[in-house]
A and B are shown apart, each in its own frame.
Chain A
């Protein structure tokens, strides 16, 4: 009887392990999908990088000011507008609709970028 219980315990343990292993790739996929939904744009040396970006609908774009002076991120079509971003401050916006979203820095209007949402 004890032997049957032991074998059962080992089998259950193996099953749990297998389920765990099976769950692992799914979790990674979910997490990588979450990562894929967020795209970073760096503001450095008076430039948005990348200057032009193509992303799927639902993507959140995060701008980070790496410059040592303030910048803003303002949509030309008034869809989004950040506050003044100091060094290392960020601004995020989620694009829920397809389209082309040009933007600029309102302090330095010749600094421009574009997000294409497909």
Chain B
């Protein structure tokens, strides 16, 4: 752990807490506590946006983007890129659900009709991105010997 920068540790902890938080939020929906469910998921999607913009994107822009695509064969760049792509898709989809379900800013034609399918798909994407994030963290910051 000596080699890990503080912002990376804090981001990992925050992301794990938010991943669990989304599962708790899903449970709230099953318990028909929809208002609480909406608050829980919305806060997590917005906090994650800040974590992406202020912690993950700067590191990705400096350390990974200059090496992509020519060095994607190396596991540390491949993992980080896969995590970034999946994470970006999950975040955009999360923001879309938040706007479609929580506000009326979107035109009717692009509003969601099958909420459960969308939400479950985004939850699965989110956890996929989270697991890739944990793998990226381990590959970049922890000595292997």
Contact = CB atoms under 8 A, between A and B. Distances in A.
A107 B63 contact: yes
A111 B3 contact: yes
Contacts of A101: none
A69 B145 contact: no
A42 to B, nearest CB: 14
Interface in B34-66: 59, 62-63, 66
* Chain A interface residue bracket vs B: 10 to 19
B107 interface: no
Contact of B143 (A45, A70, A109): A45
A112 B115 CA distance: 51
A68 B67 CA distance: 15
A108 B5 CA distance: 6
Interface in A62-118: 68-70, 83-84, 86, 106-111
Contacts of B3: 46, 108, 110-111
Interface of A is mostly: loop
* Chain B interface residue bracket vs A: 10 to 19
A84 B140 contact: no
Contacts of A46: 2-3, 143
Nearest to A83: B66
B2 A107 contact: no
B4 A108 contact: yes
Nearest to A106: B62
B114 interface: no
Contact of A68 (B71, B141, B144): B144
Nearest to A105: B3
A46 B141 CA distance: 9
A24 B62 CA distance: 50
Contact of B63 (A45, A70, A111): A70
Given A45-B145, A109-B5, 8 more contacts: A69-B76, A69-B139, A84-B67, A107-B5, A107-B140, A108-B4, A108-B5, A111-B3
Interface of B: 2-5, 59, 62-63, 66-67, 71, 74, 76, 139-141, 143-145
The 4 closest A-B pairs by CB, nearest first: A46-B3, A108-B3, A46-B143, A109-B5
